[in-house]
Amino acid sequence: MRIRWRSWLAPFLTIWIGQIFSLVGSGLVHFAVIWWLTLRTGSATVLATATLAGTLPGIVLGPLAGACVDRWNRRLVMMVSDGLVAAVSAGLALLAWSGHLAVWHVYVAMALRSAAGCFHWPAMQASTTLLVPEEQLTRISGMNQTLQGILNIVSPPLGALLMAALPLHGVLTIDVATAALAILPLFVVVIPQPARTDAAAAPSLLSDVRAGLAYVWRWPAIMGVIVMAMVINLVFNPAFSLLPLLITRHMGGEAMQLGSANSAFGLGIVAGGVLLSVWGGFRRAVYTSMAGIIGMGIGVLVIGCAPDSALWVVIAGMLLAGISNPLANAPLFALLQRTVAPEMQGRVFTVLSSGCGAITPLGLALAGPIADAVGIRPLYWVGGVVAMLLGVWGLRFRPFRHMEEGAPPPSAPEAQPLRVLAPEGHAGE
């Protein structure tokens, strides 16, 4: 059983609020460097390559990072990850201040930040499962979706304002400070660690990686999620990575217009998160998730069909896609947190994220040349239609319903009661 703290909310919120500062800083850095690349090069290939640099480390390191998270102290993993992000931003700030910043520096920085993130994200998610009571996981997932939406609203226009008021190195320095604010709470909050029930059977890190892959392979529902995510990432990520060029080339916009479109997506996420919190979704979580995927497809299709200079149509499409995003993600993610064994979650989450991102490099590698050759709009048309078809397919995929009913992975050994190590080192119930 998961350890139940007499007051679980205080320690969780202490960490969560610290992470908010880090996410704000990361959002500002992402907007700043992408806009710098857009103005510096104006190339779809460069933007796609930058996104690729921020994607590959998670694919390559994901399964290994998950095994490390399940073995190591999760609080320490988050502290080191945030520290690496701060160091990378400090290095970029120094290069920008000295006038030596080059495009390839941005590629390297995005790759290093991605590598840190592929350790931090599963450590935070797996820790949440042990810090938060099971009946509150869906609510916390909704909070995370709402937070992401708020950040999408605030970060783009704030990034545009800061870029107008500060030099690039000034914006990058802000990320160093926010990363420090994320690290400080981790010094005072103790995160419980799950007792390793598979330690004897998996004495090596490689054995842990194999165990995580086998766990996922035996579970058709997770494999189905991976297949869907791979296809969606293949068609969605290239389109969204080229949004700056859609705004500049077809809408006649600049940084503030790009910020408005991104903020509309964030506003939609907040609205979708509130809707999900009040409504609760359909009785079966998979129905809510698939409806969200279909809604995202419609939103992306609207963006692709927007006439030239009709920025409001792009904003409407981004808003609809944003509203649909938490409906697609939150219920299914909370379901995984409830059904996957806590001592396996680091590996399962990273295998899932690696599988989701594995196809992205192909899409990004093709997106730049295709967009330069035939235009940007076809990427949005294809992405919208494919997402809608996948949503319909997911409604008919039986393993999703079986997972919701609590069916274990086929051929998995009978689950043993989980012991969780309390902060004092004693077994908790």
d(CA 415, CA 429): 16
Question: What's the pLDDT at 426?
Answer: 34
For residue 420, list its beta bridge partners. Answer: 194, 428
Question: What's the pLDDT at 415?
Answer: 39
Question: What's the pLDDT at 412?
Answer: 45
pLDDT digits (tens, 9 = 90+) for 271-288: 887 788 777 778 788 888
Residue from 278, 318, 39 nearest 139 by CA: 278
d(CA 15, CA 20): 9
Helix ranges (DSSP H) in 137-242: 137-165, 168-183, 205-217, 220-241
Mean pLDDT by 10-residue block, N- to C-terminus, for the chain (429 residues)? Answer: 56 81 82 84 80 78 76 83 88 89 89 85 76 70 72 74 82 86 83 58 65 79 81 82 85 80 84 79 84 94 91 93 88 75 72 71 76 84 93 86 66 41 35
Question: What's the pLDDT at 204?
Answer: 67
Residue from 217, 279, 239, 283 nearest 387 by CA: 239
Question: What's the pLDDT at 195?
Answer: 60
Amino acid 372 reads: D
Cα distances from 164 to residues 36, 159, 171, 247, 262, in angstroms, run 12, 9, 10, 18, 18
Question: What's the pLDDT at 152?
Answer: 67
In contact, 289 and 332? CB cutoff 8 Å:
yes
d(CA 137, CA 147): 15
pLDDT digits (tens, 9 = 90+) for 337-367: 777 776 677 777 777 777 776 777 777 777 7
The domain spans of the chain are 9-405
What fold characterizes domain 9-405?
A: Growth Hormone; Chain: A; (1.20.1250)
Name the packing angle between helices 311-339 and 345-358 (round to 10°).
150
Residue from 321, 308, 290 nearest 392 by CA: 290
Amino acid 202 reads: A
